[in-house]
Amino acid sequence: MARWALFTASNDFFRLANTDAKKDSGISLLIGGSAQEITEEVFQNIRRGLGALTFDGANLTHSDNSPLVSALTDRSTAFVIGEIESDLKLFEEYSYNNRSDSDVANLITKLKSLKEDIAANGFTNLVGAESKKSYIDWYLDQEGYPNITVLEIH
């Protein structure tokens, strides 16, 4: 299955798409934007917050930042809560206009619960967090959580 990185007309990274249909939907939002096919490895690296993509109109470059990123548990709980709140705001804005998207609604519930848990207990209840580089990296490996990130909503 093809994976895609979507870029604006000025070649700024916009979103990821895990299907051709989502690519087409996302690209329809961008006047003059483009879609570049990426590997599964690059797709996972970007959606987990461990890398970056740049596009100059001809060449796509992937930077794997994971060796440079410290463990999730090395960050302050306030910093991680701030990241979650930032993502929640984007998901809630999207959800307001797309009320039928049950994955996003479920994700909002899970992220609110995660934020409250970290605020109350630090990283104690996040089993395996010490081996992860971001909260989304940890989150994507959890059973029963929607498999979507803020980079994949359109």
Over residues 50-94, the pLDDT tens digits come to 889 999 999 999 998 776 677 788 888 998 999 899 989 988 887
Distance CA 43, CA 17 (A): 9
Cα angle at 93 between 3 and 57, to 5 degrees? 40
Q: Which pTM value belongs to this model?
A: 0.81
Domain assignments of the chain as residue spans, ordered by start: 3-68, 72-148
Task: Give the tens place of pLDDT for each residue, 21-40.
Answer: 989 988 988 899 999 999 99
Average pLDDT across the chain, whole number? 88
Does residue 120 carry a pLDDT above 70? Answer: yes
Predicted local distance difference test score (pLDDT) of residue 46: 93
